[in-house]
Structure 1
Amino acid sequence: MATKHDGFRDFVLDQLADLRGVTCRAMFGGYGLYQQGTFFGIIHKGRLYFKTDRITATRYRDKGMKPFKPSASQTLKNYYEVPVEVLEVADDLTVWASQAIQR
């Protein structure tokens, strides 16, 4: 049965179509994004998060983005929400995803 967030998942995958080999797997109530076996993103509750490091996390924080918080007691500080303005432009999203894959 499809969930209401499957449409968002499909949108994200369409936006990332230029990245060859991107796959999506169900995990912890959301989806994990992989590119040729490298885990680089999370789709959870209608939001997209990309893997970051010390350098790239600053870029996300500068845009007011927060780390992935799957529950009240857990925060994954190396995955940050992707800004809407990046998500809406496939070329920009592909660049940010490529950086996440390299982390």
Structure 2
Amino acid sequence: MVASETYAEFLREQLAPLGRVTLRPMFGKTGMFCDGVMLGVVTENTLYFRVDDENREAFREAEAFPPLNYAKKGQIIDLAFWRVPERLFDEPDELIAWARAALAAAHRVAAKRPAPKQHKASKQRQRS
């Protein structure tokens, strides 16, 4: 379920110190982006932040909740997004610290992705 407009606006306000935060529907959920990089996902008005090996220890508290997941061919696939503890919404500085750690993880993930393939016509124009 995508984020409600009220919840989306609340998140944009809370995370404004990060930069330009946008939310958009994706696969029945809502992707959260900061300056074009996906740092979180919202489903059923619950926020999940991107986690990787470098911020996993800082997010240890979030392990108390199941990670964001989906079912595929009868198996549950865990995604690299962990639920943000509700208490952080009462601790704005700590919420921003977690969001910055999630954004750093999102940048690391984006840097590891191969560059998108170009069409032959685009390659030929670049050579000219």
> What TM-score comes out, normalization by structure 1 length?
0.80
Which residue of structure 2 lines up, in the alignment, with residue 82 of structure 1? 84
Deviation at 1:75, TM superposition (A): 2.1
Once residues 85 and 52 of structure 1 are traced to their aligned partners in structure 2, the CA distance between those partners, rounded to angstroms, is 18
Once residues 27 and 88 of structure 1 are traced to their aligned partners in structure 2, the CA distance between those partners, rounded to angstroms, is 28
Paired residues of 2:3 and 2:42 also in contact (CA < 8 A)? no
Paired residues of 1:60 and 1:81 also in contact (CA < 8 A)? no
CA separation of 1:6 and 1:88: change in aligned 2, threshold 3 A: farther
RMSD value, Cα: 2.1
Once residues 56 and 65 of structure 1 are traced to their aligned partners in structure 2, the CA distance between those partners, rounded to angstroms, is 16
CA separation of 1:62 and 1:89: change in aligned 2, threshold 3 A: closer
Which residue of structure 2 lines up, in the alignment, with residue 66 of structure 1? 66
Matches within 5 A, 1:31-46: 31-46=30-45
In structure 1, stretches of 5+ residues that fail to align are none
Q: Point out 4+ residue stretches in structure 1 off by more than 6 angstroms.
A: none
What letter matches 2:30 in structure 1? Y
Deviation at 1:32, TM superposition (A): 0.8
Deviation at 1:33, TM superposition (A): 1.0
CA separation of 1:11 and 1:94: change in aligned 2, threshold 3 A: same
Matches within 5 A, 1:18-37: 18-37=17-36
What letter matches 1:83 in structure 2? P
- Secondary structure, in 3 states, of the residue corresponding to 1:73? strand
Higher relative contact order (CA 8 A, sep 6+): 1
- Secondary structure, in 3 states, of the residue corresponding to 1:57? coil
What fraction of aligned residue pairs are identical, expressed as a percent?
A: 28
Greater radius of gyration (CA): 2
Deviation at 1:28, TM superposition (A): 1.7
- Secondary structure, in 3 states, of the residue corresponding to 2:19? coil
